[in-house]
Structures are given as C-alpha cells and as structure tokens.
Structure 1
C-alpha cells in the first residue's frame, strides 16, 4: 500500500474535497515549526515547506516514510513515530502547530494523540486535523449502534490487489469531547463540500457529495497561558 498510496492523494475525494478544506484552516505558518503527524507520503509536509514552515514529519510506517523522503528530500526532518504513543518532544516548547490529515480514524482512542499534541504545542499553538465524517461512516457501514466506537474495514485497491484496511468508526461526540478533555479549544469545524474540479473527475458522485457529508476538518488551539 505504501508504494501506491500516492494514488489515494490524487483521488478527487482527497485532492478536491479534503485537502483544500484542510489547507484553508491552517493559519499563517511562515517561520513556524509544524509537526506533520501521520505524514504518509508527505503531502502536507510538502505543502507546509512550500509556505516556509520548519517541518518535522512523522509516521509509524517505515515504507511510507521512505516515500516521503523521496518527495521531500532534505527540506524537512522525517522521523518514525507512533502518534498513539508518547512523543519524544519537550513540553510546551517544540511546535507552533500540528497537522494530522486523515490519520486519526486508524486510532481507537483520540485522547492519546490529542493529549500529546497539546503537551508539545507552545501556548496558543494550533491543531488542524481531518477524518472521515461520523455520519458517512454510520450510514455506509450500516452500523447497529451509532454511539459505539467500533472497528470496521474498508477495501482499498493496491498493486492490483484488494486490501482490507481496518479503521475505527465513532460518534460525533468522540470527535469533539476528546479535544476538550485534553485542553484544546475548538476554533472552527468544517464539513467540506467538493470543489468544481471534483465534478470534472467524478461527475457521478458530485451532486451527492454536495448534499451529504464525507469528511470532517477541524482547527483547535491551546490556551495562551
């Protein structure tokens, strides 16, 4: 999957729906130190670098990191790290911001990464993240109990094979409450609609996605202390 993941980035659901909504939420970052958490192939890291941020990109998957290195080169630091485990950074002084794009739905309990993000951010630091929308997950996977956090599996195509990818479905409350409980303030929440460029690539899905939620994009911040 790591070898073919770039095709997921190029899919209109990412390129013309999730990615533009996420980048619009990011505050000015020139000269700021930003953590790309769960960086994958380095899509967000590259975008941050182009806007003159000082970037550290981390991911648990070593092969994803190798692809990110090929993309980014020496323009940013790249390190292996698991966002569900304690991060080896100093409290309240390492980063001005954290971006976490489409990684959190692989994590069962969001309090763990949110707690670490809050710990390593400087006062007034930002967190911008995206995830699959709880309503979309509930309907698409015909869940019996909306309020449960449950592991589901989606099917991806990689190198001509069908691969079952596990993730966690959750109610909306388990998106917002973990933020508040770990010390974040909710600044903005976006349920993005597709850009016109989405219509050119997937006209059969465009009208539905104008009326039905697909992703959730959030900006939160730590207190100024």
Structure 2
C-alpha cells in the first residue's frame, strides 16, 4: 500500500467514534483491562489528574466520580466531542497529542496521570513518558494499561520479537471493517522507557479475567486465565 494511503489512527477513530462506547461492555474491557487498571489508581479525591488519551471519557468520568480535578486530552476531535457530552463541565477537556509537549500544563501541575489503552498508538514511549514526568509533581503517580507484548507477538505472528513494528488490527464499525494501526513492542520497550524518563516502577499487573468475563465469553475464559492479554502498570515520580 502506498505510504499516503496507509490508514491512520485519526481516520480510524473518526469511523469508530460512533460505536466505540459499546466496547465498554465487552468483557475484555469491562471484566479484564478496566478493573485491573483502576485498581492501581490511588485515592484521587482532591487531586489534579491528567487523563491522557481519554477517548470518549470513560476513565475521566471514573476519576471525576472519585473526587479528582480532571483534565482529559485526546487527539481525535470526534472522540473528544463524545467525551464532552458524557462529562459535561465536570472536567476540563482539551485536544492534544500525548507525543507532543502539553503546552497548557506547567511543570509539576498534576498529582497523577492515567493513560488507558492509548500508548500502543505511539512508536516510542519515551516521548509521552518524558512529558508525563514533566507535568507530574514529585511523588505523583502514573497508571497506564497496554496490550501485552506476548499477546501481540503471538497474535500477529511476528518474526522478530525484539522489534518495534507497525501492525494493523481490524475492528468493526456499523458492520464495516476498520483497520487501526498500532505499534507492537517487546517487554523491554515497555519498562526501559519508563525507567529512562525518571519513573520508579511500583507495580506491574498481568490481569486475569473477572467472573463477569466467564458469563459473557465462557469459550475464552479458560484461555485468558492462563494467557496474557493486557499489561497494567503503576509508576511514580520520585520525591
């Protein structure tokens, strides 16, 4: 495919935005990734928290409901519009690319950063991690989730585990296939960028499905009990 015809994340989410909220009830989200990620978030009441790559606002809403002062950012205008409808004026919502400097944010402005399933669209995680470190106060937390490197390596039949490679996953929107580009990476390219940008790794979780998953997808439940799907991490900026 010519380079100017390659699918982009922006185009993909323009097409996915109208149906994306239905993904919340999918057991891979509702009973696997989301609860494991939110379990890592400390008490946020009264804290200023950045939701980086907020999509349609699920994490932002969860944070607001727990008393956080939330700033939610995403690059896709369609997803941001849906986040605004969902959250209203309960959070500050801005358009921003997490790989670029967050020009609206001062050094040490935030007590925490949450980034749910957004980093796999970024080739080099050092870029967003460095910016997260800048906007966090000393002692602030970073919680993020990502697709598991082992799952990606097997699912996409990759020849070189150690490479950071662009791949395409296919989602469905209104009964049409949508190609969504992302980057798969080895485990070292998850942990090393975090450490190199000054974070301390506090907890790493390879979650297994909750009971609701078995009720919704019994045919996949046993496999997901024994096979990694997501990676959820809490890190902190040293005092």
Where does structure 1 lack aligned partners over 5 or more consecutive residues? none
Structure 1 position 205, deviation (Å):
0.3
* Residue 98 (structure 1) aligns with: 113
Q: Distance in 1 between matches of 2:141 and 2:89?
A: 25
Structure 1 position 121, deviation (Å):
0.2
Correspondences of 1:169-184 after superposition (within 5 Å): 169-184=184-199
Deviations 1:19-66 (A, max 9, x none): 000010001100000000000010000000110100000000000000
* Residue 12 (structure 1) aligns with: 27
Q: How many residues align?
A: 223
Spell out structure 1 runs of 4+ moving beyond 6 A.
none
Q: Residue 38 of structure 1 is aligned with which of 24, 37, 53?
A: 53
Q: What secondary structure sits across from 2:45 in the alignment? A: coil
Q: Distance in 1 between matches of 2:174 and 2:126?
A: 34
Q: What secondary structure sits across from 1:129 in the alignment? A: strand
Q: Residue 119 of structure 1 is aligned with which of 125, 134, 149?
A: 134
**1:29 is aligned to 2:51:** no
TM-score of the superposed pair, with normalisation by structure 1: 0.98
Structure 1 position 4, deviation (Å):
0.8
* Residue 217 (structure 2) aligns with: 202
Q: What secondary structure sits across from 2:123 in the alignment? A: coil
Q: What secondary structure sits across from 1:69 in the alignment? A: helix
Q: Distance in 2 between matches of 1:201 and 1:66?
A: 30
Structure 1 position 160, deviation (Å):
1.5
Q: Distance in 1 between matches of 2:26 and 2:142?
A: 24
* Residue 83 (structure 1) aligns with: 98
Structure 1 position 7, deviation (Å):
1.5
TM-score of the superposed pair, with normalisation by structure 2: 0.93
Structure 1 position 115, deviation (Å):
0.1
Q: Distance in 2 between matches of 1:150 and 1:171?
A: 10
Where does structure 2 lack aligned partners over 5 or more consecutive residues? 1-15
